[in-house]
Amino acid sequence: MPRSEFLPFSPPYLSEKEIEAVAAVLRTDWLSSGPKTKEFENTFKTMTGAHAALALNSATAGLHLAMVLHKVGPDTEVITTPMTFCATANVVEHVRGNVVLADIDPETLLIDPKEIEKRMTKRTRVILPVHYAGHPADMDAINALAKSGGAFVVEDAAHCMASKVGERWIGAGDNLTMFSFYANKNLTTGEGGMMTGPEALVDEARMLALHGMSRGAYNRFAKGGTWKYDVPVPGYKYNLTDIASAIGLVQLSRWEELAARRLKIVEVYEKAFKGHKHLVPLKTRAGFTTCHHLYVIQLNLDTLTIDRDQFIEQLAERNIGASVHYRPIHMNSYYAKKYGWTPESFPNSARAFERMLSLPLSSRMTETEAGDVVEAVEDICVKFKR
């Protein structure tokens, strides 16, 4: 039976606890960054084993700060993946740096270290891998390349709340690492982000994130604080509010429940799609733990009479929401024009883009709903098989 109600792609999963926590903050005097934000940072730091953590109003803000801190500018290059959200590349443009793309592994859709190596020059300032879909990039290889080339590594962990390389959490290393709490991410605060990394760099980021002032509001207006401050650099306005942090703290306390529910949905999909004739799920590698941010499949277009866009339309007709992650960076008009890229410049990304879609996945979904998705996918494959 097709669904009678639309199944959204990835709605947030909030409980009464988050709602109560926000109401409690509204009854205090601290709406902006204050005690809740401090607590959110400390809890996140403890959970991931990070050296230091800084709450920000988005992951994009954190990526921008990382570019500023690592002095990316006109004569420098940042190597990143075409298969990412535009923000990853946009921040390089914001500081007038140059985006250099390294193509992906066609099975994992993660940036390929061999492609990075080919593109390293004296101007390479930062390597910026993305832990695509929640699966960690090959950090040992990437860290080694950066070290040999005198470059920094900045990790875009927007998908990657609670993923591990071996026994180490993403965010616990020496690279500046950015997490996102945007509405559809694994853990949400509506809008928000977290930077982790070495203490000295995160301290500098803290100042830049609040106008470049030497003292935050909490240190100026709380008891024992002082109004005095200096502005040694013109900074930005990237701090997270206590309202958002209160949501984040509850989401962190529910983390195991959220992750377990997500895993159940993934298991339904894995069972149904293993060895499938018409589609290929994303490959994950041994030794890495993924947080399953996205469930991405690639269609075997040779075995179907419809293309990817039509497949998504067919899902919508069956009341299933789907999405595509992502239109590769080089296929967006700004980047194509500035750098003279064609789709074939990064063939693995272009090929994956043509056949990829992301099926509904969230902690809110039930296994019955996952079963509906499987049924719709099978129905479409039968109807449109070549």
Ligand X SMILES: *Cc1c(COP(=O)(O)O)cnc(C)c1O
Which residues does the annotation mark as catalytic? Answer: 185
DSSP string, 359-375: E---TT--HHHHHHHHH
DSSP string, 77-109: EEEE-SSS-HHHHHHHHHTT-EEEE-PBPTTT-
Comparison of 158 and 380: residue with beta carbon closer to ligand X? 158
Q: Which of 156, 242, 369, 372 binds ligand X (CB under 6 A)?
A: 156
Comparison of 84 and 314: residue with beta carbon closer to ligand X? 84
Distances (CA, A) of 325 to 96, 174, 294, 317: 26, 28, 9, 21
Least CB distance to ligand X at residue 47 (A): 18
Q: CB under 6 A: which stretch of 156-164, 250-258, 336-344, 356-364 binds ligand X?
A: 156-164
Task: Please list every residue from 39 through 58 that binds ligand X, using CB under 6 A.
Answer: 58
Least CB distance to ligand X at residue 58 (A): 3
Residue 158 binding ligand X, by CB under 6 A: yes
Task: Please list every residue from 313 through 342 that binds ligand X, using CB under 6 A.
Answer: none
Show the tokens assigned to 370.
Answer: 């996952």
Comparison of 158 and 246: residue with beta carbon closer to ligand X? 158
User: In whole angstroms, how large is the CA radius of gyration of the chain?
Assistant: 21
How many Å apart are CA 189 and CA 196, to the nearest integer?
A: 17
Q: Which of 12, 97, 193, 328 binds ligand X (CB under 6 A)?
A: 193
Determine how β-strand 77-80 pairs with β-strand 124-128. Answer: parallel
Task: Please list every residue from 78 through 137 that binds ligand X, using CB under 6 A.
Answer: 84-85, 87-88, 130
Comparison of 84 and 348: residue with beta carbon closer to ligand X? 84
Distances (CA, A) of 32 to 29, 137, 246, 250: 9, 34, 11, 18
Q: Which of 10, 33, 60, 108 binds ligand X (CB under 6 A)?
A: 60
Least CB distance to ligand X at residue 193 (A): 5
Q: Which amino acid is at 327?
A: R
Residue 36 binding ligand X, by CB under 6 A: no
Q: How would you label 162-190 residue by residue, b for 16+ Cβ within 10 Å and e otherwise?
A: bbbbeeebbbbbebbbbbbbbebbbbbbb
Least CB distance to ligand X at residue 62 (A): 8
Number of chain positions touching ligand X (CB under 6 A): 14
Comparison of 132 and 306: residue with beta carbon closer to ligand X? 132
Least CB distance to ligand X at residue 180 (A): 3
How many Å apart are CA 126 and CA 63, to the nearest integer?
A: 11
Task: Please list every residue from 263 through 292 that binds ligand X, using CB under 6 A.
Answer: none
Bridge partners, 164 (sequence order): 169, 289
Contacts of 277 by beta carbon, 8 Å cutoff, 6+ apart = 300, 303, 381
Distances (CA, A) of 81 to 113, 157, 288: 10, 13, 19
Comparison of 319 and 323: residue with beta carbon closer to ligand X? 323
Least CB distance to ligand X at residue 276 (A): 26
DSSP state of 6: -
Residue 163 binding ligand X, by CB under 6 A: no
Residue 182 binding ligand X, by CB under 6 A: yes
Least CB distance to ligand X at residue 183 (A): 9
Question: Residue 230, Cβ neighbours under 10 Å: how many?
Answer: 8
Task: Please list every residue from 2 through 31 that binds ligand X, using CB under 6 A.
Answer: none
Binding site for ligand X (CB under 6 A): 58-60, 84-85, 87-88, 130, 156, 158-159, 180, 182, 193
